[in-house]
Amino acid sequence: MFRLDNKTAIITGGGSGIGKAIAEIFAQQGAFVLILDMDEQGAGQVTQAILDKGFRATFKKCDVSNQSVVKEVIGTIMAEAAAINILVNNAGISHIGTAESTTEADFDRLVGVNVKGVYNTLHAVIPHMKNSGGVILNMASIASIVGIPDRFAYTMTKGAVNGMTLSVAKDYLHYNIRCNCISPARVHTPFVDGFLSKNYPGREKEMFEKLSKTQPIGRMGKPEEIAYLALYLCSDEASFITGCDYPIDGGFTKLNN
């Protein structure tokens, strides 16, 4: 079950964190994984680790916020692959700030990556998927479901991702294209460690435990836990699921009082 044999899967932001876990698990399950990322070193290491295990993967440097670059990269992929079966829009950036403290530059930067980046890959990939069907999975966030302090711009962008998911699912039903999204709560990734060291020097352990306990389950998620849900939603076993958002949050959205 949950095999991805003979599937070509594009994963944006696959060079670290959740994207890395998705790339590794998809490759393990038989997919030919194409990692799109700006981080050449990180994505290169993930790709090589997959190849060393005898699975298939390649890396293409891509700025998802630049439509012409995305179109060029997708064109290159289509010249090498028979089809694109799976698209995982995982690339994204975070930001801390309210409507007052968020600068226009930061706002535009988040929209460029988190919203336009998803649009750009959808715009480039869907025409190819229309021929044989496919699966699209977007990475949203529980921030788009509940209010989280100091996450104004980030929450806005993830709400847009949720909206795009519904639109694509509706528009391309008759092309046999499914589209869903995942909304994780806090997941322990290198981003979290970097955030803590930058903002709470000397208090990293204390703040890590504090953030972990905001989730009723008592800890942060693991990247592979998100990747296993991604695997299911992109597999043939999930063929009856489209237009859905899946919170994966340790009880955060339903059990916090």
- The CA distance from 246 to 225, in Å, is 13
- What type of residue is 129? M
With vertex at residue 216, the alpha carbon angle to CA 211 and CA 218, rounded to the nearest 5 degrees, is 55
Which of 179, 166, 144, 135 is closest to 249 using CA atoms?
A: 144
- Which residues face 182 on adjacent strands? 139, 246
Active-site residue, 228 included: no
Q: Which residues contact 27 (CB under 8 A, 6 or more apart)?
A: 33, 50, 53, 55, 56, 57
Which member of 119, 154, 175, 200 is catalytic?
154
Q: Which residues are catalytic?
A: 154
